[in-house]
Structure 1
Amino acid sequence: MTEQLYPWGHTRRYNDFPTYFRGKFSERVQKVSVDAGFTCPNRDGTKALNGCSYCNNQTFQPDYCRLEKSISEQLQQGIDFYSKKYQSMKFLAYFQAYSNTYADLAVLKARYEEALNHPRIVGLVLGTRPDCVNAEILDYLAELSKSCYVMVEYGVESVQNKTLKRINRGHQFAEAKWAIEETARRGIHTCAHLILGLPGETRQDLLNQARTISKLPVENLKLHQLQIHKGTRLAVEFKRQPDDFHLFTAEEYLDLVVDYLELLNPAIIVERFVSQAPPGLLIAPKWGLKNFEFVAKLEKRLAERNTWQGRLFG
């Protein structure tokens, strides 16, 4: 029996990032993280001092990302690591830590262009907040994107203003909507990051989130389960009032993601479903699942339910 081809042109039951990425570039391309020394309006006193309640940047920052090293040195160390396996690989500089559009344009240009000067860097991925871009920055990125790949990855986290306030996010959903629309309008690649399971949000809230995000010109989507990390305000709140939190079991989260995918615009490329924090920093939930293991379970569950991304979209 011939396998079904889905709207994204292949037989996987969701519009997966690896397949898209391989088709986007003529050669193997890998992201390399870099810490360029940016801060965040939620940490420097502009909006707050303590950051978002869930945030601990140590949970995703590779060992080679250290501020005592220049951007070029960090990139070279990351490139050397990946090149051991693939000599011909090209790379995207992933400005990941904190808010990587939060500076004067002259500073941004200097740091981005230092990265792009490396002969094996073919583009930029910029992690940032929706309230840390403006028309001037986006116009510059649009011009830059004519000669290299540029993706702006926005921490949206939730589409509900009450949740954004609860986690001390410091902006409302309207700012995320504006940033995504203005970025996409300029032809710059977009990615939205969302956390499933934030305090106070119900299962129905999360399914409605899929419908809301599907209306925006989001190209890539990163999802992950709520995790409680050491050294965060959320960890203090969890210890004081654990009943305020519903931390999904792996099976609960698996079924939620299937339901979420059914509602999701099939044009959106799903880059990630779960997050893995270093064991020493993770308080809960402790699933013991690696990303690829979760994806294997997800694909099996989609097949069992004979469903796919976007089946209920529209």
Structure 2
Amino acid sequence: MGRFLKKRFGGPVYKIGVDAGFSCPHQGELRQQGGCIICSAHGSRSPLIGRADDLSSQISRNAAYWRQRYPQAKLMLYFQAYTNTMAPPEVLRGIYAQGLGCEEFCALVVGTRPDCLPPPVIEVIKSFRQPGREVWVELGLQSAHDATLKRINRGHGTAEYQDAAVRLAEQGIPVVPHLIFGLPGEGDAEREYSINWIINNTPSLLGVKIHNLVLIPGTVMHDQWLAGKLQTYSMQEHLEAVIAALEILPPDSAVMRLTADVQADAGADPRFSELWPTTVFTGRLQQKMRELATWQGRRRNL
């Protein structure tokens, strides 16, 4: 990821993830269908965001951290927690503008769901593109199997993703889909299908984020695991799944995440001691791929 960003922007780049106070179609007053069974009340907030201070404070605090460590680095603004397009277009315009006004950013990245991107919202996102600043959208798909999406009560299907991906591509907006490995009912064939599916159905594909399945206390899936109704991947199994996915990803597609962020606190995966930190996982992945003499894209054209 770091090498990709450095090449794209001409120097080191660091991402500031923020919680702008958005909700989700499956949460709050709108949570009519119980919500995704994998998701907690914290949505997709990274543990690195911490407490949801006001937007300007989050940006100032994190920007100061990166500026102190890497004075020459460029910064990206990432609206990360929850569904960051879940508001009227003009409200979104004001929120994005407020965030971008706090610092000089080389990119605006908006994380959202494929069923929350009507054309007026895409126009708002596009309007923030300018010389020296890109705009991207990260789309939470999780699986390219409608049966799986229904099983985890995702609230949308692959058709919504296809529609959103096409409309974003028409506006020249790069897309980064998210996938989760280890979802119930999925194995090698299903994972490979999902990777190939996003390649073929994301016209402006920039890269991909892969997460291992995280069990968060308070979620339906965590309860299923406690009741012995759910088996999960070990980190070794996740590593092998990631290698298989990398082998069919195009060599020029950025791999922006390989594992999920987990902290050892009340909101952590109960298997925390069994999980590998990102740096450990990446190191073992590189070592294993060298041992196997394989690389990203090796099976792409077979």
Same fold (TM over 0.5): yes
Q: How many Å separate the matches in 2 of 1:91 and 1:189?
A: 18
% identical equivalent positions: 30
Alpha-carbon RMSD across the aligned residues, in angstroms, is: 1.9
Q: Which of 94, 114, 117 pairs up with 2:98?
A: 114
* Shift of residue 185, structure 1, vs aligned partner: 2.5
Counterpart residue number, 2:62: 78
Which stretch shifts more, 162-171 or 257-266?
257-266
Which stretch shifts more, 284-293 or 246-255?
284-293
Q: Which of 210, 230, 246 pairs up with 2:231?
A: 246
1:138-186 CA distance string (max 9 Å, x none): 1222232234221111111111111111111100011112212221221
* Shift of residue 50, structure 1, vs aligned partner: 4.0
Q: How many Å separate the matches in 2 of 1:64 and 1:228?
A: 19
Counterpart residue number, 1:142: 126
Which structure 1 segments of 5+ residues have no match? 1-16
Which stretch shifts more, 98-107 or 42-51?
42-51
Deviation beyond 4 Å, 4+ runs, structure 1: none
Aligned length: 294
1:187–1:63 CA distance, 2 compared to 1 (3 A) = closer
State whether residues 78 and 109 of structure 2, in contact with CA within 8 Å, keep that contact through their aligned partners in structure 1: yes
Q: Which of 264, 286, 290 pairs up with 1:303?
A: 290
* Shift of residue 286, structure 1, vs aligned partner: 4.1
Q: How does 1:140-179 map to 2 (within 5 A)?
A: 140-147=124-131, 148-179=133-164
- The two structures have a TM-score, normalised by structure 1, of 0.87
Counterpart residue number, 2:299: 312
Q: Which of 199, 202, 207 pairs up with 2:184?
A: 199
State whether residues 94 and 125 of structure 1, in contact with CA within 8 Å, keep that contact through their aligned partners in structure 2: yes
Counterpart residue number, 2:167: 182
* SS of structure 2 residue aligned to 1:295: helix
Q: How many Å separate the matches in 2 of 1:291 and 1:127?
A: 21
Counterpart residue number, 2:258: 273
* Shift of residue 45, structure 1, vs aligned partner: 4.3
State whether residues 227 and 285 of structure 1, in contact with CA within 8 Å, keep that contact through their aligned partners in structure 2: no
Which stretch shifts more, 73-82 or 261-270?
261-270
1:223–1:29 CA distance, 2 compared to 1 (3 A) = same
Q: How many Å separate the matches in 2 of 1:192 and 1:277?
A: 20
* Shift of residue 47, structure 1, vs aligned partner: 5.7
Counterpart residue number, 2:215: 228
1:233–1:270 CA distance, 2 compared to 1 (3 A) = same
Q: How does 1:7-156 map to 2 (within 5 A)?
A: 17-46=1-30, 48=32, 50-56=34-40, 57=42, 60-66=46-52, 69-147=53-131, 148-156=133-141
* SS of structure 2 residue aligned to 1:211: helix
* Shift of residue 85, structure 1, vs aligned partner: 0.9
Which stretch shifts more, 149-158 or 47-56?
47-56
1:253–1:288 CA distance, 2 compared to 1 (3 A) = closer
State whether residues 144 and 193 of structure 2, in contact with CA within 8 Å, keep that contact through their aligned partners in structure 1: no
Q: How many Å separate the matches in 2 of 1:288 and 1:201?
A: 20
Q: How many Å separate the matches in 2 of 1:246 and 1:89?
A: 42
1:284–1:181 CA distance, 2 compared to 1 (3 A) = farther
1:232–1:194 CA distance, 2 compared to 1 (3 A) = same
1:45–1:174 CA distance, 2 compared to 1 (3 A) = farther
Q: How does 1:277-296 map to 2 (within 5 A)?
A: 277-280=262-265, 281-284=268-271, 286-296=273-283
- The two structures have a TM-score, normalised by structure 2, of 0.91
State whether residues 38 and 102 of structure 1, in contact with CA within 8 Å, keep that contact through their aligned partners in structure 2: yes
* SS of structure 2 residue aligned to 1:224: strand
1:29–1:267 CA distance, 2 compared to 1 (3 A) = closer
